[in-house]
């Protein structure tokens, strides 16, 4: 039971209908608000329609029921697209010849969706609990999503959730289960990103092979850690003394030199393990973008590259504003890099390069300025950072005149921990100067520029693209002088993102390796686009060197893709989830009262994912009092119904794996007359089961 809650594929028809509606609206916008080529309009319209649709869901979902929140915005996208035509567009409403020109791309897209779904449903890795929780509660209409566990928690969880509207729509309108909605949403985003890379390659290279080259490089390009295996063993053994594996890589328990030839053990990975030497802590290949939000951010990045410099009329400012806002909601770091790059480009335009002061640049820059207040109020990471800063200041003002009581309180705990999560911490304590300067890898930590061995490893981790940046910048400058301001903005944002992790460290340091990843991805794609320049192509030595470099960067990605292909013949619902979980989800998802809270002791995400309701689980113990933590642990070991009900719980999610460890007297608690079995599923053995118990009358 992997796909649908009622096992009926026809359940997908409402979602397909709504998708076609917002795609139609996006096609109208791509036709009349932008000056795109005919082969670009239909596919660009898909992205524009999706982003406007998701943005309207994010806004309207705060007041509408879940079904209306996912239906009405599609109509609004068409209305906006129609207005774009009405306000000054000329010619036919839509050129249906666009379909004839793009049908091979659509066929390739369908094949890629099938391919990515087959791989995705055999894997269960990288933040599955977090992503599945968001998709489930957002699909059930909890928009914007509160802290995953408790909507009354004073500091909301800071996370980017733009991608999860697609999965939420698949659950609400398409009848899917959480894991199938997640895998299908990822497959759609992966596919769309590959097609966008192909469109950009075709635009710059102007040859049919340009589309294939750009798409291939996007999917497989990565760092070249595996080339370290060619170094003399003595150098690798010296690296063992100065490099310590970080994060999940540290769980291997091996020195660096031995880890290079070992399999990377990870829960939910493919049957054939990834080899650690072919992974990368800075630039993994796009084909490994399993989290969803990161792939969605790349799609928006490429869409902005495709359309932002081809605006037709003032209405395009509104469309671009929404696109930028959704970019921040999907992945705030890449949005922030682009903002800084655009401001740097604006300084260049108005002071040193007036030839770039075009109407399209002014439209795009104004749209970016408008997006900033939207981003700070729409929800997501940046909104919550601002909200938490305001909350912190209010808390400081309230507690500065009151002597704290001797009994620990929630406010006292929060006051002690706020500096780790407030916007002040991000700007002052969260970021600090890094000394010595270093290349940051999420697997290998900070690799000092002043350590010869660490610097050598860092260069292999980055890959040879770093040596091509002088030529890339020279080509960008030449294109910019001809009016291509978008390349200038992208190149400048790449340098900003590359330098920040070198010079500054962050409280969660491995997170800002994303900035370096975005920079390397930008430079790699720019190198591919350079190959379409006749002057570059005629320099045989540079052309061959570029091709060899790209081949080396793609080789590791092809190897990892081969590992992933072994997952295509298997099906995994999600890590630690079984057919029983699917069966209970089919009965209870989005059926409980909207404000219900569920006690879920075995797996804190379990009932959130399966019911679409919050659990009250204390996921972040830094932000709760000792008393609350003690109560939670006591309820897990010896639950008492009256205590649970007094704490605000209406339901208890019972998993047999938790039940068997309960004392007999606590099992008897759940046989009280006030307990009603809301839903129950059991396997053929009668041993394994899932139950949802209603304790609201206890």
Residue 413 has pLDDT above 90, yes or no: no
DSSP class per residue in 651-662: EEEEEHHHHTTS
Q: List b or e across 298-334, with b for residues whose CB sees 16 or more CB atoms inside 10 angstroms.
A: bbbbbbbbbbbbbbbbebbbbbbbbbbbbbbbbbbbb
Residue 628, pLDDT score = 58
690: enclosing H helix or E strand: strand 689-694
List the beta bridge partners of residue 676. 694
Residue 420 has pLDDT above 50, yes or no: no
Residue 403, pLDDT score = 43
Residue 582, pLDDT score = 92
Residue 695 has pLDDT above 70, yes or no: yes
Residues 615-638, mean pLDDT to the nearest whole number = 61
Supply the angle between the helices 13-32 and 38-60 in degrees, to the nearest 10: 120
Query: 350 near 122, Cβ under 8 Å?
Result: no
- 504-506 and 431-433: which strand pairing? antiparallel
Q: List b or e across 26-50, with b for residues whose CB sees 16 or more CB atoms inside 10 angstroms.
A: bbbbbbbbbbbeebbbbbbbbbbbb
CA 317 to centroid of chain Cα atoms: 25
Residue 59, pLDDT score = 93
Residue 407 has pLDDT above 60, yes or no: no
Residues 193-204, mean pLDDT to the nearest whole number = 95
Residues 554-568, mean pLDDT to the nearest whole number = 93
Residues 193-203, mean pLDDT to the nearest whole number = 96
Ranges 167-181, 276-290, 332-346, 598-612: which has the least confidence:
598-612
- DSSP SS3 for 532: coil
Q: How confident is the model at residue 616 (pLDDT cuts 50, 70, 90)?
A: low
Residue 394, pLDDT score = 60
Residue 46 has pLDDT above 90, yes or no: yes
Residue 176, pLDDT score = 95
Find, among 625, 340, 608, the residue nearest to 490 by Cα: 340
Query: 296 near 335, Cβ under 8 Å?
Result: no
The one-character DSSP state at 597 is B
In angstroms, the CA 523 to CA 494 distance is 7
Q: How confident is the model at residue 395 (pLDDT cuts 50, 70, 90)?
A: low
Residue 598, pLDDT score = 87
Q: How confident is the model at residue 90 (pLDDT cuts 50, 70, 90)?
A: low
Residues 491-515, mean pLDDT to the nearest whole number = 88
- Residue position matching structure tokens 């300025």: 369
Q: How confident is the model at residue 267 (pLDDT cuts 50, 70, 90)?
A: confident
Residue 624, pLDDT score = 47
Residue 356 has pLDDT above 90, yes or no: no
Angle (CA) 229-235-238 rounded to 5° is: 125
In angstroms, the CA 192 to CA 196 distance is 6
Token duo for residue 117: 């779904």
Find, among 579, 570, 698, the residue nearest to 639 by Cα: 698
- DSSP SS3 for 87: coil
Residue 410 has pLDDT above 50, yes or no: no
In angstroms, the CA 452 to CA 664 distance is 63
Residue 155 has pLDDT above 80, yes or no: no
pTM of the model: 0.90
Residue 320 has pLDDT above 90, yes or no: yes
Residue 89, pLDDT score = 58
pLDDT digits (tens, 9 = 90+) for 375-384: 998 888 777 7
Query: 356 near 313, Cβ under 8 Å?
Result: no
- DSSP SS3 for 62: coil
Range among 180-189, 477-486, 504-513, 594-603 rated most confident: 180-189
In angstroms, the CA 177 to CA 108 distance is 26
404/73: higher pLDDT? 73
353: enclosing H helix or E strand: none
Residue 358 has pLDDT above 70, yes or no: yes
pLDDT digits (tens, 9 = 90+) for 647-690: 888 899 998 888 888 888 888 888 888 889 999 999 888 889 99
- Residue position matching structure tokens 């396997």: 683
In angstroms, the CA 65 to CA 60 distance is 9
- DSSP SS3 for 173: coil
Q: According to DSSP H, which parts of 121-177 are helical? A: 128-139, 164-172
Q: What are phi and psi of 454, to 5 degrees?
A: -65, -40
Residue 327 has pLDDT above 90, yes or no: yes
In angstroms, the CA 526 to CA 139 distance is 38
457/386: higher pLDDT? 457
Query: 628 near 410, Cβ under 8 Å?
Result: yes
Residue 638 has pLDDT above 50, yes or no: yes
57/394: higher pLDDT? 57
In angstroms, the CA 563 to CA 278 distance is 11
CATH number of 592-694: 3.40.190
Residue 465 has pLDDT above 90, yes or no: yes
List the beta bridge partners of residue 651. 598, 694
Token duo for residue 660: 């068997």
List the beta bridge partners of residue 691. 654, 680
Query: 561 near 285, Cβ under 8 Å?
Result: yes
Q: List b or e across 402-423, with b for residues whose CB sees 16 or more CB atoms inside 10 angstroms.
A: eeeeeeeeebebbbeebeebbb
Find, among 66, 69, 62, 142, the residue nearest to 614 by Cα: 142
In angstroms, the CA 254 to CA 115 distance is 34
- 651-655 and 598-599: which strand pairing? parallel
Query: 132 near 182, Cβ under 8 Å?
Result: yes
Query: 225 near 277, Cβ under 8 Å?
Result: yes
Residue 130, pLDDT score = 86
List the beta bridge partners of residue 505. 432
């Amino acid at each position: 039971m992997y796909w649908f809650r009622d096992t009926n594929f026809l359940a997908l028809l409402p979602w397909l209908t709504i998708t076609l509606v917002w795609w139609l609206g996006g096609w109208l916008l791509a036709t009349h608000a932008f000056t795109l080529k005919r082969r670009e309009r239909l596919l660009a319209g898909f992205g524009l329609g999706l982003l406007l649709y998701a943005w309207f869901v994010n806004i309207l979902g705060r007041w509408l029921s879940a079904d209306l929140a996912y239906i009405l915005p599609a109509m609004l996208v068409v209305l906006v697209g129609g207005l774009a035509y009405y306000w000054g567009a000329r010619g036919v409403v839509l050129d249906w010849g666009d379909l004839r020109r793009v049908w091979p791309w659509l066929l390739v897209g369908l094949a890629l969706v099938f391919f990515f779904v087959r791989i995705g449903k055999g894997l269960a890795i990288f933040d599955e609990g977090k992503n599945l929780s968001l998709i489930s509660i957002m699909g059930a209409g909890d928009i914007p999503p509160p802290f995953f566990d408790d909507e009354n928690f004073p500091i909301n969880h800071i996370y980017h959730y733009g991608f999860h509207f697609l999965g939420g729509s698949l659950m609400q309108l398409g009848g899917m289960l959480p894991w199938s909605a997640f895998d299908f949403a990822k497959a759609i985003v992966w596919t769309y990103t590959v097609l966008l890379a192909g469109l950009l390659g075709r635009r710059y290279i102007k040859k049919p092979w340009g589309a294939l080259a750009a798409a291939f490089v996007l999917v497989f390009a990565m760092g070249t850690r595996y080339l370290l295996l060619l170094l003399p063993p003595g150098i690798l053994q010296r690296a063992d003394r100065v490099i310590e594996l970080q994060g999940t890589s540290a769980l291997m328990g091996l020195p660096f030199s031995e880890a290079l030839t070992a399999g990377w053990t990870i829960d939910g990975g493919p049957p054939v393990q990834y080899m650690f030497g072919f992974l990368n802590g800075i630039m993994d290949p796009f084909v490994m973008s399993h989290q969803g939000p990161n792939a969605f951010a790349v799609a928006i990045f490429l869409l902005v590259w495709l359309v932002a410099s081809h605006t037709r009329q003032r209405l395009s400012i509104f469309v671009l504003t929404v696109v930028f806002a959704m970019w921040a909601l999907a992945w705030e770091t890449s949005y922030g890099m682009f903002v800084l790059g655009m401001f740097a480009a604006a300084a260049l335009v108005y002071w040193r390069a007036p030839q770039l002061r075009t109407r399209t640049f002014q439209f795009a820059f104004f749209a970016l300025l408008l997006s900033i207040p939207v981003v700070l109020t729409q929800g997501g990471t940046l909104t919550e950072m601002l909200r938490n800063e305001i909350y912190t200041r209010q808390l400081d003002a309230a507690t500065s005149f009151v002597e704290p009581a001797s009994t620990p309180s929630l406010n006292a705990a929060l006051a002690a921990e706020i500096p780790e999560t407030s916007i002040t911490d991000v700007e002052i304590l969260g970021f600090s100067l890094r000394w010595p300067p270093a290349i940051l890898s999420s697997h290998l930590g900070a690799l000092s520029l002043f350590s010869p061995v660490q610097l050598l490893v860092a260069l292999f981790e980055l890959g040879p693209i770093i040596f091509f940046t002088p030529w890339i910048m020279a080509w960008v400058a030449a294109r910019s002088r001809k009016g291509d301001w978008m390349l200038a903005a992208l190149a400048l944002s790449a340098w900003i993102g590359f330098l920040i992790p070198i010079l500054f460290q962050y409280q969660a340091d491995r997170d800002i390796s994303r900035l370096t990843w975005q920079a390397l991805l930008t430079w790699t794609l720019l190198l591919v686009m350079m190959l379409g320049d006749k002057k570059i192509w005629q320099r045989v030595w540079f052309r061959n060197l570029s091709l060899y470099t790209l081949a080396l960067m793609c080789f590791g990605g092809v190897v990892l893709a081969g590992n992933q292909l072994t997952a295509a013949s298997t099906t995994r619902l999600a890590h630690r989830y079984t057919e029983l979980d699917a069966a209970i989800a089919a009965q209870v998802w989005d059926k409980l009262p909207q404000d219900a809270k569920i006690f879920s002791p075995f797996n804190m995400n379990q009932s959130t994912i399966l019911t679409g309701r919050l659990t009250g689980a204390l996921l972040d113990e830094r932000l709760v009092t000792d008393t609350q933590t003690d109560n939670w642990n006591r309820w897990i070991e010896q639950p008492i119904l009256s205590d649970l009900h007094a704490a605000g719980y209406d339901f208890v999610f019972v998993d047999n794996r938790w039940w068997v460890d309960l004392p007999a007297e606590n099992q008897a608690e759940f046989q009280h007359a006030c307990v009603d079995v809301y839903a129950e599923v059991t396997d053929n053995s009668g041993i394994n089961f899932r139950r949802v118990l209603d304790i609201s009358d206890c």
